[in-house]
C-alpha cells in the first residue's frame, strides 16, 4: 500500500518502501534475483542494465552474493561517463569493484566505454558491443538526480531530444550535460521503455520531492524522469 507521501504518483507506477536503505537493498536484491532466474529458466539467458552513483553500491555488494548462474546473465550499464575504466568517475569501475566478484564473478559484462576519443565517435562501437544482448532487456535499474535526470538523459543536454525520441533505432545516445562533468554514453529512453521490467531505486525524502515536482511540471524536457513515470515503472524507496 502506498504511503500518503506518494499520492502524486500515477496509479500504474508501483511503489515499494521500507524503513531503511539496508532492508530495501535486501528486498530489491531478492526481487532482482527472481526476475533473472525466471528469465534464465524461460530463455536460457537473462539481461540486466544497472546505473551508477552512490545509491546502488550496497545493492551491488548484495547482488554479488546471490546464488544465480551468473554465467548466463548479460550485464551492462544504463550509462557511463566517457572516461577511462580506471577513472574514479567511471561506472564501469564502480560495477567491477562492487558487483563483478564473489558469486557474480562470471557474469558476462559488456562495457559501454571503448577506446574512441569521444562518446559521439564511440557510440557506434558501443551499439555494436550491445548486440550480444538479446533485446529487450529483462530488467533495467535506474537512478535519478535532483534535477530529474535519469540515465544520462539530462534536461540541460542539447542531445536530450535525440535521447528521448521514441522513433529512434539506436539503443544509445552520446550526451554532454552542462551541469555535470564528462561526456556521457547512455541508453535511450526507447531502450528503457522497451525493457520487460524497469525499477527506479531511490533513497531519501529529497528524491520523493523530485518525483513530486516532476509530476507537477509534467514536462519531460525539463525533468526527463516524468516520461518514465508516465510510461510506468516500479519504485523502490527508503528514507
Mean pLDDT of all residues in 206-221: 97
Distances (CA, A) of 132 to 2, 56, 73, 75, 129: 39, 25, 11, 11, 6
Q: What pTM does this model have?
A: 0.96
Q: What is the pLDDT of residues 78-117, one digit of tens each?
A: 999 999 999 999 999 999 999 999 999 999 999 999 999 9
For domain 14-238, the CATH class is alpha beta
Distances (CA, A) of 50 to 77, 91, 95, 186, 212: 5, 9, 9, 11, 24
Angstrom distance (rounded) from CA 110 to CA 133 = 9
Q: What is the pLDDT of residues 33-74, one digit of tens each?
A: 999 999 999 999 999 999 999 999 999 999 999 999 999 999
- 228, 192 in Cβ contact below 8 A? yes
The ranges assigned to domains in the chain are 14-238
DSSP lists the bridge partners of residue 201 as 236
Amino acid at each position: 500500500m502506498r504511503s500518503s507521501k506518494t499520492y502524486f504518483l500515477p496509479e500504474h507506477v508501483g511503489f515499494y518502501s521500507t524503513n531503511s536503505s539496508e532492508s530495501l537493498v535486501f528486498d530489491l536484491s531478492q526481487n532482482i534475483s527472481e526476475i533473472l532466474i525466471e528469465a534464465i529458466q524461460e530463455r536460457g539467458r537473462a539481461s540486466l542494465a544497472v546505473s551508477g552513483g552512490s545509491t546502488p553500491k550496497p545493492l551491488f555488494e548484495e547482488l554479488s552474493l546471490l546464488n544465480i548462474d551468473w554465467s548466463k546473465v548479460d550485464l551492462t550499464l544504463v550509462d557511463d561517463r566517457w572516461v577511462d575504466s580506471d577513472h574514479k568517475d567511471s561506472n564501469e569501475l564502480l560495477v567491477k569493484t562492487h558487483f563483478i566478484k564473489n558469486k557474480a564473478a562470471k557474469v558476462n559484462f559488456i562495457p559501454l566505454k571503448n577506446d574512441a576519443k569521444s562518446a559521439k565517435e564511440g557510440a557506434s562501437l558501443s551499439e555494436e558491443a550491445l548486440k550480444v544482448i538479446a533485446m529487450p532487456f529483462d530488467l533495467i535499474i535506474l537512478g535519478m538526480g535532483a534535477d530529474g535526470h535519469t540515465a544520462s538523459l539530462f534536461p540541460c543536454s542539447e542531445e536530450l531530444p535525440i535521447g528521448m525520441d521514441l522513433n529512434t533505432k539506436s539503443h544509445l545516445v552520446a550526451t554532454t550535460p552542462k551541469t555535470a562533468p564528462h561526456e556521457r554514453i547512455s541508453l535511450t529512453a526507447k531502450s528503457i521503455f522497451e525493457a520487460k521490467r524497469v525499477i527506479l531505486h531511490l533513497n531519501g525524502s529529497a528524491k520523493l520531492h523530485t518525483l513530486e515536482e516532476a509530476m507537477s511540471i509534467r514536462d519531460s524536457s525539463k525533468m526527463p524522469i516524468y516520461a518514465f513515470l508516465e510510461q510506468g515503472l516500479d519504485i523502490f524507496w527508503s528514507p
